[in-house]
Amino acid sequence: MENFDFIIITGLSGSGKSSALAALEDIGFYCVDNMPIALLPGFFELCLEQNAGGKGLAFVMDLREKGFLSGYRKVLAGLRSKGFDCRILFLEATAETLVRRYSQTRRIHPLAGAGQLGDGIAAERKLLRALRADADAVIDTTGFNVHQLKACMQGWAAKAGYAKTMRISVLSFGFKFGTPLDADLIMDVRFLKNPFFVPELRDLDGETEEVRQFVYAQGDTAEFLVKYFNLLDFLIPRYFKEGKAYLTIAVGCTGGRHRSVIVARALWEHIKEMGHPATLTHRDIQNQGVL
């Protein structure tokens, strides 16, 4: 029976644990926030029975759960003895950073009580010394914004052997029916000659060889594709590095049946050749009788 890798994200309150968990979820982990440590073995058994878990499991566990500090070593030792690979990731930040974050969010520190926020932060840091020493990695989030923390987490995950992915969608559409709301990049290919005005091609679509030959016979088509391929070769790795989870590239012509279909397919094939998984959708290819 195949076991799961799992990561416990822990550390100081206000250090960015929830944002770190979201970054792992984007990578493909099944994520749970604030699960009691005593429930972990039963949760793993359930995941094994249902074959769930994606690339692994990730949990945020900290002092909000009263039994965490006293019970985590015993529970993790039992899971490791059964073949589960556990990594503890400890997040921290300077006291000044934590005070500023709590002031911005107006949340209550779990150990502050009726005292000062700084006292609660100092008390928590002391309580977590042994846990910090047990951690496989310690990340100081001082100075990080949400996007920088996400990039840091995904970089750590890549080094730890967990592949980072970006979901790329290529979409053809007709401007006559509206631009896609979720498109990140929109390319207008209405500068190419329109097969609609060729009687024998009008009722065909861009997936047919006759229309394809007509569009590729235009000198501008090949030149445009080379230039746009070069642009995508430049942009996609940078979107990937920035931590973008989804990228939608839309190609539009007037009706979405001819030119945009052909160009979208060419882009999709190029992106796959780059080694990126991508989907191809022709939104308006069934709309007939439209320029």
User: With the CA atoms of 194, 196, 199 and 200 taken in that order, what torsion angle do they form, in degrees rounded to the nearest 10?
Assistant: 90
Are the beta carbons of 174 and 286 closer than 8 angstroms?
A: no
228-249 burial string, b = 16+ CB within 10 Å, else e? bbeebeeebeebbeebbbebbb
Max avg pLDDT among 1-10, 83-92, 263-272: 263-272
Strand partners, 62: none
Strand partners, 76: none
Whole-number pLDDT of residue 1 = 36
Q: Which residue has the higher pLDDT, 90 or 47?
A: 90
How sure is the predictor about 289, in pLDDT bands with cuts at 50, 70 and 90?
low
What average pLDDT does range 155-169 have in this prediction? Answer: 76
Nearest-angstrom CA–CA distance, 289 and 69: 68
Statement: the pTM of the whole predicted model exceeds 0.75: no
Kindly report, residue by residue over 204-246, the tens digit of the pLDDT. Answer: 999 999 999 999 999 999 999 999 999 999 999 888 877 787 8
Q: 35 CB contacts (<8 Å, ≥6 apart)?
A: 43, 59, 61, 65
Kindly report, residue by residue over 35-83, the tens digit of the pLDDT. Answer: 899 999 998 888 877 766 567 889 999 998 989 999 999 999 999 888 8
Nearest-angstrom CA–CA distance, 274 and 233: 8
Q: Give the chain's mean pLDDT.
A: 89
What average pLDDT does range 174-184 have in this prediction? Answer: 94
Nearest-angstrom CA–CA distance, 166 and 239: 9
Residue 178 has pLDDT above 90, yes or no: yes
Strand partners, 173: 252
Whole-number pLDDT of residue 185 = 97
Alpha-carbon distances of 14 from 18, 26, 94, rounded to whole Å: 9, 21, 10
The maximal CA–CA distance of the chain, rounded, in angstroms, is 82
What average pLDDT does range 133-146 have in this prediction? Answer: 92
Residue 112 has pLDDT above 80, yes or no: no
Percent of the chain with pLDDT over 70: 93
Residue 111 has pLDDT above 60, yes or no: yes
The three-class DSSP label of residue 29 is: strand
Percent of the chain with pLDDT over 90: 62
Q: What domains can be seen in the chain, in order of their start residue? A: 5-159 (3.40.50.300), 167-282 (no CATH)
Whole-number pLDDT of residue 52 = 64
Q: 143 CB contacts (<8 Å, ≥6 apart)?
A: 97
Sign of the CA dihedral with 161 first, then 128, 19, and 138 last: negative
Residue 291 has pLDDT above 80, yes or no: no
